[in-house]
Amino acid sequence: MKKWICLLLALPLLAQAAEIKIGFQKSAGLLSMMKTQGAALPGHTIKWIEFPAGPQMLEALNAGSIDFGSTGAPPPIFAQAGGVDLLYVGAEPAPVNSEAIIVPKESTLRTVAQLKGKRVAFQKGSGSHFLLASALQKAGLKISDITPIFLSPSDARAAFVSGGIDAWVVWDPYLASAQKAYQARVLADYTGLPLANGFYLASRKFAEQSPQLVSALLEQVKATGKWASEHQKEVSTLLTQQTGVPADIVATWMGRSRFGATPVTPDIVASQQRVADLFYQQKLIPKAVNIASRVWTWQPK
């Protein structure tokens, strides 16, 4: 398999060598690929720490257990509202159909509006939280109109299979797996809804003390994204080996994934502010947050 990590060899040695703690999710994102391929920064040690989802990762960032990580749009908003001193340092393309609200194949539910009063499982503070809130808003409902069941993907899958919930909001590869294993039916994805970018995040302390390292990490993420987009077959093989997810599920997952890293542009800031404002309007966060005040400027090479 092509070793894109050789790109790192061209980076200059950075001063003040230290351990860099990076959070990643095993089943998602470019950071996971970088970890699997043994990415390194010359003169520095990378400690990789795995998390089940974005909210737990940002709890660790707040505690100083990690310096850098990536999540969907909602986790940093919940973290901001909770007082976490984070910075948005980069963005990735918004998902369209790699995350969805699904129901069992035999369910009588056919529209999002019919979720009123129903038990809907999702990871609190995740991208699924925003997808659900947006879809409900379009249908004239709020989160308070359903019965939210806050579960991790693995626990939600068990509840979905047992009939303990009426609907489940989740991302790939869990989504692709449920579609194949249980013929789960999609009620809604991001089609026709406001999109929400993923983000690369750093603690303020790390970004301000080590701006060169943040830039170097983002350059490598960008290079990895370019490689992944051009080598989907190799990426699928890598992820099948890494996650244990069957190859056909990984192929579906990869077919609707979007890779990359860009600066956090004004348009992306505005999009993220819309996410934050929706959460505040629906009383999902205790106070309004300002996204623009937390953006770190990255100038790609």
Question: How far, in whole angstroms, is CA 205 from its chain's centroid?
Answer: 22
Length of the chain: 301
Mean pLDDT is lowest, of 6-15, 117-126, 204-213, for: 6-15
Residue 148: CB atoms within 10 A of its CB come to 16
Which long-range contacts link 234-241 to residues 24+ away (Cβ below 8 Å)? Answer: 234/1, 234/2, 235/33, 237/1, 238/1, 238/33, 238/36, 238/37, 239/33
pLDDT digits (tens, 9 = 90+) for 174-206: 999 999 999 999 999 999 998 899 999 999 999
- Single-letter code of the amino acid located at 284: L
- Is residue 110's pLDDT more than 80? yes
Closest CA to 199 of 48, 95, 66: 95
Closest CA to 129 of 89, 78, 86: 78
Residue 293 pLDDT? 96
Residue 16 pLDDT? 52
Residue 299 buriedness (CB in 10 A; 0-12 / 13-18 / 19+)? exposed
Do 175 and 254 meet the contact criterion of CB atoms below 8 Å apart?
no
Do 102 and 187 meet the contact criterion of CB atoms below 8 Å apart?
yes
Residue 14 pLDDT? 42
pTM: 0.84
Residue 7 pLDDT? 41
- Is residue 99's pLDDT more than 50? yes
Residue scoring higher pLDDT (18 or 88): 88
Return mean pLDDT, the chain: 89
- Token readout for 205 is 């302390």
Pairing type for strands 19-24 and 45-50 reads: parallel
Closest CA to 84 of 119, 60, 117: 60
Do 217 and 138 meet the contact criterion of CB atoms below 8 Å apart?
no
Residue 32 pLDDT? 82
pLDDT digits (tens, 9 = 90+) for 244-268: 888 899 888 888 888 889 999 999 9
